[in-house]
Amino acid sequence: MNDASPSENPPADPLEDLRRSIDDVDRRLIELLNERARIVVDVGRLKRESGAPIYAPDREAALLRRILDANPGPLPGRTIEAIYREMMSGSFALERPLRIGYLGPPGSYSHQAAVAQFGSSVTFDDLGAIESVFAEVERGHIDYGLVPIENTTGGGIAETLDAFRDSTQSLHIYAEAQLAIRHHLFAFCEVDDIERVYSKPEALTQCRKWLRAHCPRAELVAEASTSAAVERVRSEAGSGVKPTGAAIASELAGKIYAVGALYSGIEDNPNNITRFLVISREEARPSGDDKTSIMFTTTDQPGALVRVLQVFDRAGVNLSHIEKRPSGRENWRYTFFIDVLGHRTDPRIAEAIGEARAHCEQLRTLGSYPRSSRIL
């Protein structure tokens, strides 16, 4: 006969059992992460001795493909990738601290893309212009620079194309990243009280329909950056006057300036994506799924551009993108930018580039790099 009272033998709590199981898994994870980190320290020592780059996009692409292919779930691939990107960021810090330059100010979409691509364990340099990012990479003041190259809504980024046109042979495209642009409305008041909406003109344009429906009487005020717009809303709220301003910006900007979001995802086009390029003094090795960017100016002859493009067509090389910008040297002359699928060391691409050069006044391969297949 069991004389124990119910209070002496409480029923098992299944939730507590599961929490203890999680605690046990966490302990094992910490052990494994630090075991991996100790190996990373040895890798960093060998890289420093041999002069190998700390950040190798071909190795990163292969690693991400492997771990995503090995993921059985239930965690989605996007979560697994985010974990590994942050873990790789910590590895950079153990091997050698990296400095990443981006188009500022802090909280910009370029800043958000840089954090998504490199993780939070590297050092970020806020640079005021795209040309400054190029200059600082070339001078060796930063290891890598991240710049926007095109947007699905607004098209090519003229400042970046011009910076490539004016850059030297010492700079190369090293990697690319795609960031989903989600605009958020930040304010210290209710939506019906908003009298002004601040942001970059591009962001205001990309949210035009939403603003017309929800803030039809608000004045749209252009700011130099989305971050400056949030900072202005923060400043107005601290002035002692009833806040009536709002800002359109990134989630990161709201966190940096401690302003709450009234609405998230207010962009008119939910598939608004910006493509970014990582520039470096190093050249990327083949990854097996690469893209090559080429810049050229054609000869002043009828059909010159067609002949260049036909070279790649005959070689069976997929041309995935084309842009043009004024040459900067002569009126009505243009510099063309094309992306082809494959690495510059692939025999058919190397042969096509050599043949195309004969139809150009100038031709320069800007870089071959792993093709981005996922949206950050």
- The answer on pLDDT for 69 being more than 80 is yes
Question: Is domain 284-370 in CATH 3.90.550.10, yes or no?
Answer: no
Question: Is domain 98-181+273-279 in CATH 3.40.190.10, yes or no?
Answer: yes
Indicate the average pLDDT of the chain: 91
- The answer on pLDDT for 241 being more than 90 is no
Q: Which CATH class is domain 15-93?
A: mainly alpha
As a whole number, mean pLDDT of residues 127-149 equals: 95
Structure confidence at residue 326 (pLDDT)? 86
314-336 residue pLDDT tens:
999 999 999 998 877 777 678 99
As a whole number, mean pLDDT of residues 92-102 equals: 91
Q: Do 261 and 254 meet the contact criterion of CB atoms below 8 Å apart? A: yes
Dihedral class, residue 339 (left if φ above 0, else alpha if ψ from -120 to 50, else beta): beta
Task: Read off the pTM.
Answer: 0.88
Burial class of residue 302 in the structure, from the number of CB atoms within 10 Å of its CB (0-12 exposed, 13-18 middle, 19+ buried) = exposed
102-119 residue pLDDT tens:
998 999 999 999 999 999
Delimiting residues of CATH 3.30.70.260 domain(s) in the chain = 284-370
253-304 residue pLDDT tens:
999 999 999 999 999 998 999 999 999 999 999 999 999 999 999 877 888 8
38-65 residue pLDDT tens:
999 999 889 888 888 989 999 999 999 9
Distances (CA, A) of 65 to 25, 77, 84, 277: 25, 10, 11, 20
Q: 242-260 burial, b if ≥16 CB within 10 A, otherwise e? A: ebebbbbbbbbbbebbebe
Delimiting residues of CATH 3.40.190.10 domain(s) in the chain = 98-181+273-279, 184-264
Question: Is domain 184-264 in CATH 3.40.190.10, yes or no?
Answer: yes
Q: What is the largest CA-CA distance in the chain?
A: 105
Structure confidence at residue 13 (pLDDT)? 83
- The answer on pLDDT for 2 being more than 60 is no
Distance CA 318, CA 193 (A): 52
User: What percentage of the chain exceeds 90 in pLDDT?
Assistant: 77
Distance CA 245, CA 226 (A): 14
Task: Read off the tokens for 56.
Answer: 């190798």
Distance CA 225, CA 112 (A): 14
As a whole number, mean pLDDT of residues 80-107 equals: 91
Structure confidence at residue 10 (pLDDT)? 66
148: Cβ contacts below 8 Å, ≥ 6 apart: 103, 109, 110, 113, 130, 157, 160, 274, 275, 276
Structure confidence at residue 97 (pLDDT)? 87
188-223 residue pLDDT tens:
999 999 999 999 999 999 999 999 999 999 999 999
Half-sphere exposure (CA, 13 Å, Cβ side) for 185? Answer: 25
Residue with tokens 């691509």: 117
- The answer on pLDDT for 79 being more than 60 is yes
As beta bridge partners, residue 100 has 124, 144
331-369 residue pLDDT tens:
767 899 999 999 999 999 999 999 999 989 999 999 999
As a whole number, mean pLDDT of residues 144-160 equals: 93
As beta bridge partners, residue 295 has 337, 364
Q: At what angle do helices 347-357 and 304-314 cross, to 10 degrees?
A: 160
Bigger pLDDT: 16 or 186? Answer: 186
- Reference 156, options 169, 145, 165; nearest CA is 165
